[in-house]
Structure 1
């Protein structure tokens, strides 16, 4: 693998920008190639077989661009294709589920852990599998499908979102969790309302933990740019480049310049 090659980041839409930001914060000299499948988003309401088909098509393209690491910045896609991806591609693959689960195990004091995610991730039981080696953890899962809609509409506050959050998070409050995994990379953009509703609970960002894992993997393989350099970022979308740029700039100011069409 070429240390000069970019990191490939894939997401169903805009949520993976939280991963891209976290990766760039921890690996500021790395080039990044981001592909968002916005034309077919959201993945969270689709059958896993369909998610698998779309995700592998996008991941194939990133590998064809000679990336040195694949980051699956989507919990739904990670649930659908992780095992296939690690067998299919000649580059290391990092995802968002296992790193977040490991962090939650370390953070919880009571063993009562919650995860909020899409319907696809909840149905896949991926987080249940991730905690299988931690019998001390009592996992409580809540699907929050409308959260993605709010983020991709650029809405991160207001009474409608607050009411939705109160409905989704009530079962987790009743379960008296002390740690909550934001099991969708869109959800860190809603940290304000989630924290307000859930109260004194440790939040674990799957985006942040995924970025830490990317750093660890590249360091272990000796593929990190160690000397200061000007890095580059490229953004591809299957949807409208103009829409991606507008919303991306609103959600992640200063991060996105040019967005290219991928089809």
Structure 2
């Protein structure tokens, strides 16, 4: 099936999902919308996030996508069910896959969840983890300063290390062996996060686990693309194209990516 897979996010965070898709599903066309102009979603109201998510999903539905990935954890937490009810194509979120990966990886059942204020306050990860592991000990921590560091393109800077160190103070003294990156922006500062957590802690990215689900659904619904030729992804942003383009080039190692502006 030649139709593309749509990916939406509050900004550049969903590029971590795209990165995994390019590794595992290199022949699948991808169309991406990042709502950088209204990022971050974490502090916003549930109604706002639902409205913004629906606007992006509607825009991609007009591009005849065959599947939609809500690559934003905050949007997944509050808008997944609504979007699924509204559109005929499969819609995948990132929270259940991330929770599943963490439960598989944890030997102690003690799991830290790093996320935006919106994701943490929704308790969506707590619910997803306890559905799989009822006796789990969960340490949720909102890290609101991580997304702005990524969106500004400063995720490799020394300043980023300091921001991450300060953001993780709430986990001091807590016992856990797995930490979920419960925001798709966070893998871009994963090296900083790992440096400021105990060495025994395994980090789980919801992005990696989500692509396993994408692959499974493509096969089960027989909607994989038969053509083996590669198609370059198309990226849309509601914000500044140059900033978005520079992060795509750096994170995805794509030269001269096709980045366009979109009004929602």
Do they fold alike, i.e. is TM over 0.5?
Answer: yes
Partners of 2:101 and 2:206 within 8 A in 1: no
| Contact 2:94 2:206 (C-alpha < 8 Å) held by counterparts | yes
Distance 2:241 2:116 in 1: 25
Give the C-alpha shift of residue 256 in structure 1. 5.5
Structure 2 CA distance for aligned equivalents of residues 161 and 209 of structure 1: 25
What are the residue-to-residue correspondences of 1:1-263 with 2, within 5 Å?
Answer: 3-133=1-131, 134-198=133-197, 199-254=199-254, 257-263=257-263
Q: Deviations over 1:207-258 (max 9, x none)?
A: 1111111111111111112452122311111112223212322333216512
Instruction: Indicate the RMSD between aligned Cα atoms, in angstroms.
Output: 1.5
- Deviation (angstroms), 1:45: 1.4
1:165-214 CA-partner distances (Å, limit 9, x unpaired): 22322333421110000000111111111111112211110111111111
Moved over 3 A (4+): 157-160
Please say which of residues 58-67 and 235-244 is displaced more in the overlay.
Answer: 235-244
Determine the C-alpha separation between the residues in 1 that align with 2:260 and 2:156: 30
Deviations 1:34-56 (A, max 9, x none): 01111111111111111111111
How many residue pairs get aligned? The number is 261
Higher deviation after alignment, 119-128 or 227-236? 227-236
Shift of 1:131: 1.9
Query: 2:248 touches 2:257 (CA, 8 Å); kept in 1?
Result: no
Write the distance in 2 (CA, Å) between the matches of 1:8 and 1:160.
33
How far off is 1:152 after superposition? 1.2
**Structure 2: distance between partners of 1:81 and 1:259:** 26
Deviation at 1:140, TM superposition (A): 0.7
Which is further off, 226-235 or 121-130? 226-235
Q: Distance in 2 between matches of 1:58 and 1:228?
A: 28
Distance 1:138 1:149 in 2: 29
Provide the rounded CA distance (Å) in 2 between the counterparts of 1:18 and 1:61: 21
SS in 2 for 1:131: helix
